[in-house]
Amino acid sequence: MGLLLRAPMTVELSWPGKRPPAPVAAAQPHLVETFEPHRLDNGASASAGRPPLAPRPSPLPNSLYHGDNLPILAHLLDSGFGGKVRLIYADPPYDSGIDWTRKIRLRRPRRRGIDPVVMQQVQYGDTWPEGAYLQFIYERLPLLRALLAEDGSLWLHCDHRRAHHLRCLLDEIFGVENYLNTITWRSQTARGAKVNAFYFPNSAHTILVYGRNRAAPTCWHPPRKRIVLSETEAAAAFMRDERGFFRTSDPGTYSFDSLVRLHAEGRLYAPYGGEVRVDATQQRVYASNGGNLGVKYYLADLGDGRHQVERAVDNVWDDIPGLGTTPGEDLGYPTQKTEALLERIIATGSNPGDLVLDPFCGSGTTLAVAEKLGRRWIGCDAGHGAIQTATRRLQAVV
C-alpha cells in the first residue's frame, strides 16, 4: 500500500490488487418490503409539494432491499434515482477482523430444570484479504456519488482502523474541494480492560462528511444542542444580573439602531463595572470604562434551580450517547447506532420529504429515524439478520 503523487496537489491511494471501478450490471434486486410514505400531522404525505423523483420510478420509496448493495445501487441509478438522493449515511464494515455475532435462544418445549439453549449467530463477517476491503469501498463510492443530488451529502461512518484510508478514497472520488468536515463522535466511555488498551482507549468513531457539489451549496441546517445546568454549574460558568444568568457575545456588525434597541431591552453589557453610553450625535454606543460591549444571551430558567443553555454543535459530538447507555434502544444487533445520532445527521443534511439512502442499513436505525422525521428512504443490507431486524423495527414504526 502506498501513496502515488499523480500531479501537483493530487494524491491517490494504492493497494495490492487495486483496479478501477468497473461498470456494474443493474440486476433486479430482492425487494424485501415497501412501506407507505410517512404521514405528517396535517394528514399530508411527507413528500407532498415536492417535485417527483422521476416519472414513476421503480422501485418506489420507502423500500428495503436484501443483497449485495453494489448491484442494488446500480439498479437505483438505472431506475431514475441518479441525482435524487439528498443524504446518504453509510456505516460499512470497519475491517475490524471480527465476525460480529448476536445471541439467540432456540425454541424448544419448556421442561423443568432445563435452561433454554443459547447460541451465537454470525450477523456478518468483517475479515478481509489484503487489499479487498479498500477495493470493496472503492467500487461503491462512484455509485453513491452518482445517486446524490447536487446539494446532497454523504456521511461515511468509520473508526480508527481505516478513517485515514477512506478519506483518501473520498478525496479521489468526490474531490478534495467537496470535503465538508470530520465528525468525532464519542460512542462509548472506556471501562475495565479497555482503559489500558491501544495506548489510549478508543472511545470515538469518525464520520467523514462530503458534499456532491459544495458550490451548490450543500443542504445544511446547523444543529444546536440544549444543555441543562444546575444553579452551581451555571454560577461557575456564566455572569448574572437581575434577569438571570447570561453569556455575552461581540456585537459584531450590529447597527447603531440595533444597539440602541438592545440597550433599551437591557441586553448590553459594559465590562469593568462600567455603564453603557449612547452618543446619538456620533451614532455611537460604547462602554464608559473602556473595553468592548457585549450582547447578553440569557439562559432559560427551567425552575427548581435548573437552567438551560443553547449552543452551536461543532465537529466533536460528545453529547450523544452510544448504545451502551441507551439500553432501551438495543435490539441485540452488533454495530447498531443510536437514534439520536441519526436524528442529528438527517435533520442537518436534509429536509422533510427528501430521500435518504442507507446502503448498509443493519438494524434499520437510519430508516426508522428517517421515517419519524418525515423523510423518504431506501435501505439495503446483505445480512439476513439485519433484514429481519430492520423489517420488524420498521413495521413497528410505520
Q: Over the stretch 328-358, which tens digit does the pLDDT of each residue have?
A: 898 888 889 999 999 999 999 999 999 999 9
Residue 329, classified by CB atoms within 10 Å of its CB into exposed (0-12), middle (13-18) or buried (19+), is: middle
Comparing CA positions, the residue from 121, 70, 133, 68 lying closest to residue 97 is 133
| Superfamily for domain range 60-223+329-362+375-383 | Vaccinia Virus protein VP39 (3.40.50.150)
For range 1-5, the mean pLDDT: 56
List beta partners, residue 173.
Answer: none
Q: Over the stretch 9-32, which tens digit does the pLDDT of each residue have?
A: 577 899 999 999 988 988 888 888
Q: What are the sequence ranges of the domains in the chain?
A: 60-223+329-362+375-383, 225-312
Residue 137, classified by CB atoms within 10 Å of its CB into exposed (0-12), middle (13-18) or buried (19+), is: buried
pLDDT higher than threshold 50 for residue 57: no
Q: Over the stretch 94-143, which tens digit does the pLDDT of each residue have?
A: 998 877 565 544 445 555 555 555 545 556 677 788 899 999 999 999 99
**Longest Cα separation, the chain:** 93
For range 185-197, the mean pLDDT: 78
Cα-only R_g, the chain: 26
Residue 198: band (very low, low, confident or very high) from pLDDT cuts 50, 70, 90: low
Give the pLDDT confidence score for residue 44 in this predicted structure: 43
Give the pLDDT confidence score for residue 175 in this predicted structure: 95
Q: Cis peptide before 62, with omega less than 30 degrees from 0?
A: yes
Pairwise CA distance, residues 94 & 295, whole Å: 46
pLDDT higher than threshold 90 for residue 63: yes
Give the pLDDT confidence score for residue 121 in this predicted structure: 58
Neighbours of 72 (CB within 10 A): 28
Pairwise CA distance, residues 50 & 40, whole Å: 14
Give the pLDDT confidence score for residue 353 in this predicted structure: 94
For residues 119 and 388, the answer to whether their CB atoms sit within 8 Å is no
Give the pLDDT confidence score for residue 41 in this predicted structure: 43
* Sequence-separated (6 or more) residues with CB below 8 Å from residue 18: 131, 134, 135, 138
Neighbours of 317 (CB within 10 A): 21
Comparing CA positions, the residue from 241, 238, 262 lying closest to residue 252 is 262
Q: Over the stretch 142-152, which tens digit does the pLDDT of each residue have?
A: 999 999 999 99
Comparing CA positions, the residue from 57, 220, 209, 214 lying closest to residue 150 is 214
* Interior/surface letters 230-259, b for 16+ CB within 10 angstroms, e for the rest: eeeebeeebeeeeeebbbbeebeebeeeeb
Three-class DSSP category at 77: helix
Query: Which of 52-56, 193-197, 317-321 shows the lowest per-residue confidence on average (mean pLDDT)?
Result: 52-56
Give the pLDDT confidence score for residue 45 in this predicted structure: 45
pLDDT higher than threshold 80 for residue 192: no
C-alpha cell at 284: 455611537
Query: Which of 23-27, 230-234, 272-276 shows the lowest per-residue confidence on average (mean pLDDT)?
Result: 23-27
pLDDT higher than threshold 80 for residue 8: no
Give the pLDDT confidence score for residue 278 in this predicted structure: 97
For range 300-312, the mean pLDDT: 94
| Mean pLDDT for the chain overall | 87
Q: Cis peptide before 222, with omega less than 30 degrees from 0?
A: no
Pairwise CA distance, residues 18 & 354, whole Å: 35
Give the pLDDT confidence score for residue 323 in this predicted structure: 84
Give the pLDDT confidence score for residue 162 in this predicted structure: 94
For range 302-319, the mean pLDDT: 94
Give the pLDDT confidence score for residue 137 in this predicted structure: 98
Give the pLDDT confidence score for residue 138 in this predicted structure: 98
